[in-house]
Structure 1
């Protein structure tokens, strides 16, 4: 009798599964292109916030005692663009490698494609955990700060 590990090594991809994977890779390519466009827009807005809109933002925020708001917003937008770049890149690589794997019937390329998909979801998962933790800390801090007033 074969062990479960040996059975998994002989997993075959049917023609129906191949068509699903091809469609998935097309949608992933579409979403990755939209992601790259969004990243470009974030960078453009960051540059605008740091240059063109900086004087206007400084005038508005100096009344509250905050200076260099344009610079702060530029840095925030650039950080968001950098953080968004990696999952979009993983998604793009998955779509390209999946199409190549299906065309060439290469198991190594298929494994590389799934590795990029895993990296995409791992990055998104870690970022989600970080943001949920930050929201929880902010909530606790808000309750504590509210009780002091």
Structure 2
């Protein structure tokens, strides 16, 4: 019995009311943004399916729909990439709310772990995006200038 009480006090979350309120409000906004993100992913997938399947039925004369199928595949790729940060945000919100309301340090730590993963994903994604921009700017732009002469 004594070990259970000791374990509960070790897992207790030593936060003031102001910090608890900030974390709860942050988890609510995070949940809202995650839900909107999941809806956005669903719309991307739906639009991709329309482009993959529907375009060939409505307008079969344009390259057999190859243009739109490519765009549909790009939309699916965007939805897959977009899923990961949205999922991290949703798990952060869920764990943070559970941890703050239940006074559970383990849940709060799990929430912050998901927030760290979200920031890490977005940081790596930003580095990749900036690298692609630099590639276009410093390699493809000068090459295209050669062909314009």
More relative contact order, 1 or 2 (CA 8 Å, 6+ apart): 2
Q: How many residues are paired up?
A: 135
2:132 and 2:58 map into 1 onto residues whose CA distance is 31
Partner of 1:119: 117
Q: CA RMSD in A?
A: 1.9
- Runs of at least 4 residues of structure 1 off by over 4 A? 55-58
Partner of 1:37: 39
Give runs of aligned pairs for residues 38-117 of structure 1, distance below 5 A. 38-54=40-56, 59-60=61-62, 62=63, 68-117=66-115
User: Shift in Å at residue 58 of structure 1?
Assistant: 6.2
Partner of 1:3: none
- Structure 1 unpaired stretches of 5+: 1-10
Partner of 2:6: none
User: Shift in Å at residue 115 of structure 1?
Assistant: 0.2
Q: Please, what TM-score do these two structures have when normalized by structure 1?
A: 0.83
Q: Please, what TM-score do these two structures have when normalized by structure 2?
A: 0.83
- Structure 2 unpaired stretches of 5+: 1-12
Indicate the structure with greater helix content.
Answer: 2
